Each structure stands twice: as structure tokens, then as C-alpha cells.
Amino acid sequence: MEDKTQEIQQNTPDQQPPLNQGEPEKKPKSFLRDLFETILMAVVLFLLLNTVTSRVKVFNISMEPTLKQGYLLLVNKMAYKLGEPKHGDVIVFHYQGDQQEDYIKRVVGLPGDKVEISNGVVRVNEQPLTEPYIMELPNYTGRWTVPENELFVLGDNRNHSSDSHQWGTVKLDWVVGKALFVYWPFNAIDLLSVSNLVIAAP
């Protein structure tokens, strides 16, 4: 009888060991830790975005009607590190290599291209370009051969643009990146791609 009594006493609820005994208690994350992780993630994303893109504001009329003063653009700084420029690209570059002075123009000639402008028509390698984006036909003439590792650029506002027809070509090393789209003002949001430009072959 004594053995049975002891067995019953050992199994009473008051003497049972607590559940999950020996397991560590899980503590909720503190508010400060959550805040720190959120800020850290935001900083990392900002630095990553700033590494591959740039935000640019248009200050002149040389790219009208495509780009007007005050427009804000998103520029892909990795475009020509991972790929090659194409006819019709809108690019941002350091004027004459000066990092304090950036220009926005359209690529008309690639390395090795022969560019001719006459009678209001731009020809690349003897092929006339279809350019519905320009303000008006150019009233100047000239012939150029684009050197290796350089680009021939023109503003869409042809007769009111300081560009390659005046001061020559742009070295690829001066290029900041390719302008992707307008993101401000909202009513002007648009991709800066050209689908109906005649692609000239050297």
C-alpha cells in the first residue's frame, strides 16, 4: 500500500514538471531593434539605387519638344557598362569631360558612322533618319566621321542646341548614362525610347 500511495502522490498535478522545461523562452524583438533594421535596409536600398541610377533635371530647351525645362529624368548609369549605345538613345554626359557640367542629347552617330546633314535631313552612312521627335529641320550642313569610342550627338531642338555639329563628338568615358524615362511632372511621364528611327549600318 505504501508503494501505491507514493506513486499517486508523484503523479498529482501540483508535482508535475512545467511544460517545455529546459527550452529557452523566446523574447519578442524590441522596438529599437526593428527600427534599426528598417533604417539599415532603407540606407542599403538607397545606396544601391544611387549606384545604378541618377536623377537629372532639365535646365534648357535644347531637347524640346521631347524634354522641357523642369522635367526630371531617371538615368541608368550602368547602361553602357553592361551594353552598347544605340542610335536614338538619349544620354547624359559631362560636357568636354567636365564633371560639373552635364548635357542631355540624342545619339545620332556611333563609332565609325559617317554623319551628313544637308537640306534639313540627317543621314547616317547615307541612310536618312526618320525623326518625328525633333522641333524643326536643321538649317545647317556638315559632314563628320565618328571616331572610335566616341558618339555624335544632337539636340532635338536642332537649331537651338549646342551639340556635336558645333563642338564635335562625345567620348564614351564622358557618358554618365542613358536617360530611361521622365518621371516628373506626372502628366509628362514617358519612356525615352525610339521605335521608328531608321537604324543606319556602317
Q: How many CB atoms lie within 10 A of CB 45?
A: 10
Q: What percent of the chain has pLDDT over 90?
A: 69
Read off the pLDDT of residues 39-96 as tens digits, 9 standing for 90 and up: 878 777 766 666 778 999 999 999 999 999 999 999 999 999 999 999 999 999 999 9
Q: In DSSP terms, which residues pair with 115 in a beta bridge? A: 124, 144
Quote the pLDDT of residue 5. 44
Distance of alpha carbon 6 from alpha carbon 28, whole angstroms = 42
Place of cell 531642338: 157
Q: Was domain 55-191 assigned CATH 3.40.710.10? A: no
Give pTM, 2 decimals: 0.78
Q: Which residues contact 189 (CB under 8 A, 6 or more apart)?
A: 181, 182, 183
Q: Which residues contact 133 (CB under 8 A, 6 or more apart)?
A: 65, 66, 106, 156, 194
C-alpha cell read off for 174: 564622358
Over the chain, what is the mean pLDDT?
Answer: 86
Residue positions annotated with a catalytic role: 62, 105
Distance of alpha carbon 66 from alpha carbon 177, whole angstroms = 18
Residue 144 — very low, low, confident or very high, per pLDDT cuts 50/70/90? Answer: very high
Distance of alpha carbon 180 from alpha carbon 55, whole angstroms = 10
Instruction: Delimit the domains of the chain by residue range.
Output: 55-191
